[in-house]
Structure 1
Amino acid sequence: MRVVQPEGARGSLKWIQRAINDEASSFDPLVLAKLPRARTIRWLSPLRDDGYAEYRDAAFVAKIGRPELAPDLAEFWPSRGPQWDALGTTDAGQVLLIEAKAHVGEVCSPGTQAGERSFEKIAASLARAAESLGAKPLAPWTDGFYQLANRIAHLWFLRESGLDAYLVLVDFVGDVEMRGPATEEAWDAAYLVANYVLGLGKRHSLSGYIRHVRPLLS
């Protein structure tokens, strides 16, 4: 599914659109510094000349150049799966899944509201991913911090499918309007809590593929 977005007026929607469309010369080096081998990024979304569209489900894997994964993704996750804030690829062949935040409340997402059939598929896939990572969650991944959990699960799916994928968590520092964190340490504390609830240790099989980027807003 291709989902056209308005031009962002505030918060993470505004900042990620600006970062990719207007400030790539300063934003890209922050991302590249977190990746091995990569020297350039080709941003696939959200692009101004594409209606700032964001992508999910079959359109998401098609956008990253792997449309053949659509049937497997449909088996892994029901329709209306994660809608990615941004997607990109690098000259080193890496796929970048971008999740952008401007304030801590965006990290503290509630549990899934999926219907019964969809819930069963989601719960099974999250459980598989969590078990593979050796997670010992305080509650099922369908509950608190669900958004972060499903992003990690999709990273797991892509890497299990043979893609050199990275989940890049872009946490903007200093969004006064949204009362966002003024320091990187505040973001660190938020993710420390999230990972504790999800039962993820500092080291697991995906920890090297989850990267934090902290652009400072002026």
Structure 2
Amino acid sequence: MRTDPATGRAFRGSQKWLQHLVEHAPERLEPPKLGRLDWVSPIPATQYREYQDYAFLDILGLGHLDTALREFWPRGGAVWDGLAQSKSGPVLVEAKAHVSESFSSPCGATAPASLELIRKSLSDCSRDLGADMRSDWARCHYQTANRIAHLWWLHRQGIRAHLLFVHFVGDAEMKGPKSAETWIAVEMAANYALGLPKQHGLSDFIHYVHTDVSNIG
């Protein structure tokens, strides 16, 4: 996604909309169960920086978990579209503007040790959540799977974190969904493909927001 090298501002897609709403209308990104969010990324003060690995822990005040993260996931892990704090815990954010973003490529790790660690962590998470073990999380909806796995890992560390999927409606430039119903169907399909039961140990900590951007210039 193209961004302004001087300011970090994105020109299109989910990155653009998330930046705009965090800055100008953050209430449109807040799930009812979480309430007000205090955003630490993406914000103008850091040129809309997105964080990963130790940096995402540090900005959330969780830098002490760096060693534990290394044991769970290799470096070069998830890049978080947004990060925030809520009254009930830190919030990890994944934003999308069109459906094809949800059907991400399989895990791209090539180093045998990295791939082995990723597969083990995904398997541990899926098993603990009661998922159908025939689902291969390293291949099927991998981006969604690894975000859920990071949420699960934080809970294993005693951190009651939340995962927020922000799905934009009405992005004509990106040919995105015109209704929230389309996104809801995609979300249900992803959970089904991952073999997740309708209710599991993280159900109350995974949230979805469907935000219409069709009238935003």
Aligned to 1:188: 184
Aligned to 1:100: 95
Counterpart of 1:129 in 2: which secondary structure? helix
Aligned partners of 1:139, 1:160: CA distance in 2, in Å? 22
- Residue 128 (structure 2) aligned to one of 122, 129, 132: 132
Residue 61 in structure 1 maps to residue 57 in structure 2: yes
Could you tell me whether the CA contact under 8 Å between 2:163 and 2:207 is conserved in 1?
yes
The runs of 5 or more residues in structure 2 that have no matched partner are none
Alignment of 1:16-165 (within 5 A): 16-24=18-26, 26-27=27-28, 30-35=29-34, 38=35, 40-90=36-86, 92-115=87-110, 116-165=112-161
Distance 1:138 1:6, change over 3 A: farther
Q: Which runs of 4+ in 1 moved over 3 A?
A: none
Q: CA deviation at 1:41?
A: 2.1
Q: CA deviation at 1:13?
A: 0.6
TM-score (norm 1): 0.91
Aligned partners of 2:193, 2:31: CA distance in 1, in Å? 29
Q: CA deviation at 1:138?
A: 4.5
Which whole-Å deviations, capped at 9, do the CAs of 1:105-131 have from their partners, x for residues lacking one? 010001011022110000000000000
Could you tell me whether the CA contact under 8 Å between 1:138 and 1:197 is conserved in 2?
no
TM-score (norm 2): 0.92
Aligned partners of 2:78, 2:203: CA distance in 1, in Å? 20
Identity of aligned residues (%): 41
Aligned partners of 2:177, 2:38: CA distance in 1, in Å? 29
The residue identity in structure 1 corresponding to 2:95 is A
Give the RMSD, CA atoms, in angstroms: 1.5
Aligned to 2:168: 172
Counterpart of 2:84 in 1: which secondary structure? strand
The runs of 5 or more residues in structure 1 that have no matched partner are none
Counterpart of 1:215 in 2: which secondary structure? strand
